[in-house]
Chains A and B, each alone.
Chain A
Amino acid sequence: MDCIRLEYDVDGENFASAGNASESVKRTLKQLGIPPASVRRVAIAMYEGEINMVIHAHGGKAVAEIYPDRIDITLKDTGPGIADIGLAMKAGWSTASENIRSLGFGAGMGLPNMKKYSDEMDIDSVVGVGTTVFLRIRF
């Protein structure tokens, strides 16, 4: 199997559609016969990232590259950036507003959860420019 590349625009103005990209990737992996436990890790890690893009960064681009042994996911936004990545990685730490919390998110578990479910994770962020998150998950 060659690399399958999937690209998505994540709409930052539409909370209801957040998760569309992750759902599509999940469905594709299932169709490819990837083990269910791996599919779920990918789905959760990517969904957390997609939610972050919508609630913190007005959306962006999501790219998934599927190889026989792994998936590489790149989530790129032009949002406010993360001032202190170390702090953002701490479980329970969040800059989310009360409005976001009322939607059931913003518990400060997004980035730690993405790290937990991925094999490799890299965050590149510049305040005022945007954030790119790379996730690699082996099947």
Chain B
Amino acid sequence: MTIREVVKLLDAEILCGQDRLDTEIHTACGSDMMSDVLAYVKDQSVLLTGLLNPQVVRTAEMMDMLCIVFVRGKKPEQSVIDLAAEKGIVLLSTEKRLFVACGILYTNGLGG
């Protein structure tokens, strides 16, 4: 699916990366522990998390991820949004909880 479909499925707000919504994605992961993302994730292109600090963007950048979805209605500070925009990473925010957001994407064909 595309990031645009993720936006629709999660009724998400686009925080940055409006011009990259047609990027194709195939896999995602959900975690609030960046240590675990770095240790266990392989070739996932979307990160769903409730953590808001700049290291979420750094972690995604190191892992070549394309999109971060902040769950539970969370939004990071502008400096974090600016960092993601600079790295070309799409940031989204959804009111849905982590488990529900992951479930919706999984049942709609996004792999783990």
Contacts and interface: CB of A to CB of B under 8 A. Distances in A.
B54 A109 contact: no
The A contact surface, by secondary structure, is helix
Nearest to A20: B58
A6 interface: no
A131 interface: no
A18 B35 contact: no
B64 A110 contact: no
Contacts of B38: 44, 47-48, 109, 113
B62 A107 contact: no
From B32, B51, B62, B64, residue with most partner A Cβ within 10 Å: B62
B62 A109 contact: no
Nearest to B79: A16
A16 B62 contact: no
A104 B63 contact: no
Interface string B47-88: 001010111101101111000000000000001000000000
B1 to A, nearest CB: 23
Given A15-B55, A103-B55, A104-B56, A22 B33 contact: no
Contacts of B51: 103-104
A101 B35 CA distance: 9
Contacts of B53: 15-16, 103-104
Interface residues of B, number: 20
B19 interface: no
A18 B39 contact: no
Given A15-B55, A18-B55, A51-B55, A109 B35 contact: yes
Contacts of A79: none
Contact of A47 (B32, B54, B62, B64): B62
A26 to B, nearest CB: 7
A106 B51 CA distance: 14
Nearest to A16: B54
A113 B55 contact: no
Contacts of A107: 33, 35-36, 39
B32 A104 contact: yes
Interface of B: 32-36, 38-39, 49, 51, 53-56, 58-59, 61-64, 79
Interface of A: 15-16, 18-19, 22-23, 26, 36, 40, 43-44, 47-48, 51, 91, 101, 103-110, 112-113, 116
